[in-house]
Amino acid sequence: MATDETLQFRDPDAAEEIVDRLDGLMAEIGEPVSVMHVCGSHEQAIAKFGLRTMLPDGLSIRMGPGCPVCVTNMPEVDEAVALANGGVTVATYGDMYQVPGTSGSLADASARGAPVEVVYSASEAVELAEENPDEEVVFFATGFETTAAPTAAVLTDDPPENFSVLSAHKYVPPAMEVVAELPDTDIDGFLAAGHAATITGYGLFEEFVSEYETPVVVGGFEPLDVLLGLERLLEYTSEDAVGLENAYPRCVTREGNSTALETMWEVFEPVAGEWRGIAEIPGANLALREAYAEYNARERFDIAPDSGEADPLSEQCLCGDIMAGTADPDDCELFGEECTPEDPVGACMVSSEGPCKIWLEYGGQPDI
Amino acid sequence: MTDTDETGEVLTLSHGAGASSMRSLIDSLAVSRFADDDDDPSAGTVGLAALDDGAAHPIQGDRSVVVTTDSHVVDPPRFPGGDIGRLAVAGTVNDLAVMGATEPLMLTCSLVVEEGYHVDELDSIMASVEDTCEDAGVQVTTGDTKVMGSGDLDGPVINTTGVAVVPSGSVVPDSALSVGDAIIVSGTVGDHGIALLSEREDFGFEGDLESDVAPVNDLVRTAAEAGRVTAMKDPTRGGVATALNEMASKSDIGLELDEPAIPVDGTVASAAEVLGIDPLDVANEGKVIFGVDAEDADAVLEALQDHPQGRDAALVGHATDEHTGRVVLDTGFGRRYLSEPEGEALPRIC
């Protein structure tokens, strides 16, 4: 909310001062620096406030696998579409509604009469089930820790019998490791997502920092938060140092939210899963544990996805490279042409956290 | 509305959302059939192909008849600051006004309602139509009523059509911006859209948020008397962002805007932040975007600020010969494009 507290992090004069310091640090470093964020909300803030147009030459902000909708695999969407086509009410976040699977999206299914509902929260999906006791309601659950914890919370709170969950929840830390190991990614530091860290705590990154010898700064989402995060990362680079820093202390602690974490790990277990276009990543998908099998839509229903032929254009889609930080949205031939938010080829063009959608809307980093 | 044929294309909500899918649908269904290309706004002719807020057609004596029509559905039918009756009158009066027709001759009003709908409720909507007509200085002169079977309709639908006759030279299209023209908005933006979304989502801001729905014909008259208005648009569906992009692309010109100068009510800004929506992307129902000859910008701005509906009017940018067809926003930090919101990610609000 744009309260007085957040407004103080939207002070253009203070931003100019930080940018001056970034200029100085870049001059000291004397070579190009690449920083990666792993959060669609960071890209939103950077693009929405036009921050890239303020940055010194040579400092580039890459986009990592920070959009859970974008890395949701097509077969997961196909499962949800199959459930809806079979007459089961599928409730999901608005971001997921238009993501194409191999046989269309939930929006396509809905336009043809399948029962699909857009909800703002897991608890709203539970309410939907309570209000319609004669219908089966499946919550197609997507997102990182910030939404996985609330999904877990509704499952531990005795939901109605006609409610179940189709989990496409993802867990970021293993994906950061995969991206850090990709041969084409050359990243000098990571700007980690402040809101996920409110749940996990920033201590989670200690192991990553020592193993990959790359600095990690946890940052918030107002313009000054982002710029301060960049300043800390450049300081590490200029000193040739490695470390972990919390640049979002007004929200993030080292330990995180232990209640949310306990609930999340009580309900979910990390399993290997395909992140669309990137890789099969060990421990990066969150599946319901055996103790919650009765609420697992994959157990309750015999889901037979109609895995049709994927849109042939999806062969050309660069979503995977973009989410791995090795390509920019405008490197993709489909960007803004065959692939638009209204007729998307890849999920990166659908979600409000998707880099392609964000770049199309705000212009990415042109000299404007 | 939807086709059950498994293979044919079916309508989605985004086809009604005011952005590019709606325009391509209108192109294929209507423009391709009915448009002719003898548009000449300066001679008082604006046809279907212009996709302006209404049409203008010359009649005898250097005058033009201006016509516009709009069907209104809104959920909920009664909302903070107004109701569907007020919306139906203001929507059409305002579309005429931004064509330069600030003295509507007459209005038609057609109702489609469902069996079982309460007559009291209908009466209160019509009372609101009556009040708003009085505000706008227009009368309903003909209409129609249809009752559909129970369950055939979600809520009332009101269609209004407005007619005015103006000197041909005073027709103002949305496509005639020139380099250097000032861009003025008549007041705070996003009030209607955010008020309705907050009401629907029950976010508890309701007491402080109100739709701006109101006829703006008097306000437009005030501006036109104070200086040379080159282009106008009322930023309804798709908000200020859509209206500005349309003005830029139709005028074949770029726009540069100063974001901090754009007036946004504080409560609207807070609620928009919570909803994750940009106030520039949502509907206004009582605001106008003016393109004004740079020399007259101060005079028009002052005149607007002296009008009760224009107190928050602000000069927010200008037209340029760079980045043709696009709107560039200086955010106070850096620069970015302001694009049209795509699709209907949100519940229908107007």
Residue-wise pLDDT for B304-325, tens only, equals 999 999 999 999 999 999 999 9
Count: domains in chain B = 2
B299 within some domain: yes
- Which among A12, A112, A363 is the nearest to B332, CB-wise? A12
Q: What is the pLDDT of residues B179-237, one digit of tens each?
A: 999 999 999 999 999 999 888 877 666 568 999 999 999 999 999 999 999 999 999 98
Residue A101 · residue A82 · CB < 8 Å? no
Chain B residues lying within 8 Å of A352, measured CB to CB: 276, 345
- Which among A1, A50, A107 is the nearest to B331, CB-wise? A50
Residue of B nearest to A120 (CA): B201
Q: Span B122-142, mean pLDDT?
A: 97
The secondary structure of residue B50, as a DSSP letter, is G
Indicate if the pLDDT at residue A270 is higher than 90. yes
Indicate if the pLDDT at residue B7 is higher than 70. no
Chain A residues lying within 8 Å of B332, measured CB to CB: 10, 12, 49
Tell me: do B327 and B228 sit in the same domain. Answer: yes
B247 within some domain: yes
Tallying the residues shown for chain B, one arrives at 350
Tell me: do B188 and B253 sit in the same domain. Answer: yes
Residue A366, pLDDT score: 58
Residue B2, pLDDT score: 40
Tell me how far apart the alpha carbons of residues A153 and B177 are, in angstroms, rounded to a whole number: 55
Q: Which of B109, B135, B170 is the last residue of a domain?
A: B170
In three-state secondary structure terms, A222 is coil
Partners of A219 in the β-ladder: A193
B77 within some domain: yes
Chain B residues lying within 8 Å of A54, measured CB to CB: 333-334
Residue of A nearest to B19 (CA): A342
Q: Span A351-367, mean pLDDT?
A: 82
A366 within some domain: no
The residue ranking higher by pLDDT, A226 or B8, is A226
Indicate if the pLDDT at residue A5 is higher than 70. no
Indicate if the pLDDT at residue B19 is higher than 80. no
Residue B18, pLDDT score: 60
ipTM beyond cut 0.90 = no
A253 within some domain: yes
Tell me how far apart the alpha carbons of residues B220 and B229 are, in angstroms, rounded to a whole number: 9
Q: Which helix (H) or strand (E) covers residue A151, if one does? A: helix A145-155
Give percent of chain A with pLDDT exceeding 90. Answer: 62
B47 within some domain: no
What is the CA angle B99-B102-B108, rounded to 5? 85
Sign of the torsion formed by the C-alpha atoms of A331, A334, A339 and A344: negative
Chain A residues lying within 8 Å of B14, measured CB to CB: 342
- Token pair, residue B241, equals 């962002």
Residue B340, pLDDT score: 87
Tell me: do B105 and B190 sit in the same domain. Answer: no
Q: Do A53 and B342 touch (CB under 8 A)?
A: no
What is the CA angle A213-A214-A220, rounded to 5? 145
Residue B311 · residue B269 · CB < 8 Å? no
Q: How far is CA B173 from CA A288, B41, B43, B68, B235, in A?
A: 58, 6, 11, 13, 14
Tell me: do B150 and B292 sit in the same domain. Answer: no
| Lowest-pLDDT range of A104-108, B4-8, B286-290 | B4-8
Q: Which amino acid is at A341?
A: P
Indicate if the pLDDT at residue A298 is higher than 90. yes
- Tell me the whole-structure pTM to 2 decimals: 0.84
Indicate if the pLDDT at residue A244 is higher than 70. yes
Residue B253, pLDDT score: 97
Q: What is the pLDDT of residues A128-166, one digit of tens each?
A: 999 999 999 999 999 998 899 999 999 999 999 999 999
The residue ranking higher by pLDDT, A9 or A317, is A317
**CATH number reported for the structural domain that contains residue A222 in this entry:** 3.40.50.11740
Chain A residues lying within 8 Å of B270, measured CB to CB: 1-3
Average pLDDT in chain A = 90
Sign of the torsion formed by the C-alpha atoms of A279, A283, A288 and A293: positive
Q: Span A261-276, mean pLDDT?
A: 94
A139 within some domain: yes
Q: Which of B170, B196, B221 is the last residue of a domain?
A: B170
B348 within some domain: no
Indicate if the pLDDT at residue A235 is higher than 70. yes
Count: domains in chain A = 1
**Of the candidates B190, B210, B186, B205, which has an alpha carbon nearest to the alpha carbon of residue B316?**
B186
Residue B208, pLDDT score: 81
| Chain B interface, best mutation among A49, A147, A335, A353, by max B CB count within 10 A | A49
**Of the candidates A230, A224, A222, A235, which has an alpha carbon nearest to the alpha carbon of residue A192?**
A230
Q: How far is B344 from chain A (nearest CA, A)?
A: 9
Tell me: do B120 and B215 sit in the same domain. Answer: no
B23 within some domain: no
- Token pair, residue B85, equals 């009756």
Residue A42 · residue A172 · CB < 8 Å? no
The residue ranking higher by pLDDT, A47 or B201, is A47
Could you tell me the residue range of the domain that residue A90 belongs to? Answer: 37-300+309-361
The secondary structure of residue A18, as a DSSP letter, is H
DSSP letter string, B185-210: E-S-SSHHHHHHHHHHHT-S-GGG--
Q: Do B335 and A368 touch (CB under 8 A)?
A: yes
Average pLDDT in chain B = 90
Tell me: do B192 and B154 sit in the same domain. Answer: no
Sign of the torsion formed by the C-alpha atoms of B233, B234, B240 and B241: negative
Give percent of chain A with pLDDT exceeding 70. Answer: 96
Q: How far is B239 from chain A (nearest CA, A)?
A: 15
Residue A41 · residue A195 · CB < 8 Å? yes
Pairing mode, if any, of strands B229-233 and B254-258?
A: unpaired
Q: What is the pLDDT of residues B323-350, one digit of tens each?
A: 999 999 999 999 999 998 876 544 333 3
B41 within some domain: no
Residue A4 · residue A41 · CB < 8 Å? no
In three-state secondary structure terms, A214 is coil
Residue B99 · residue B52 · CB < 8 Å? yes
Residue B17, pLDDT score: 63
Query: Who contacts A52 (Cβ-Cβ below 8 Å, separation ≥6)?
Result: A46, A61, A364, A365, B334
Tell me: do B216 and B329 sit in the same domain. Answer: yes
Half-sphere exposure of A129 (CA within 13 A, CB side): 25
A273 within some domain: yes
Tell me: do B331 and B213 sit in the same domain. Answer: yes
Indicate if the pLDDT at residue A365 is higher than 80. no
Q: Span B130-144, mean pLDDT?
A: 97
Q: Which of B146, B170, B194 is the last residue of a domain?
A: B170
Could you tell me the residue range of the domain that residue B191 belongs to? Answer: 182-337
Tell me: do B160 and B188 sit in the same domain. Answer: no
Tell me: do B151 and B199 sit in the same domain. Answer: no
Tell me: do B301 and B215 sit in the same domain. Answer: yes
Residue B4, pLDDT score: 43
- Token pair, residue A315, equals 């062969």
Q: What is the pLDDT of residues A306-344, one digit of tens each?
A: 766 777 888 888 988 888 888 889 999 999 899 988 788
Q: What is the pLDDT of residues A117-126, one digit of tens each?
A: 999 899 999 9
Chain B residues lying within 8 Å of A53, measured CB to CB: 334-336
Cis peptide before A223, with omega less than 30 degrees from 0?
A: no
B256 within some domain: yes
Tell me how far apart the alpha carbons of residues B49 and B69 are, in angstroms, rounded to a whole number: 16
Q: What is the pLDDT of residues B225-276, one digit of tens each?
A: 999 999 999 999 899 999 999 999 999 999 999 999 999 999 999 888 888 7
**CATH number reported for the structural domain that contains residue B114 in this entry:** 3.30.1330.10
Tell me: do B119 and B212 sit in the same domain. Answer: no
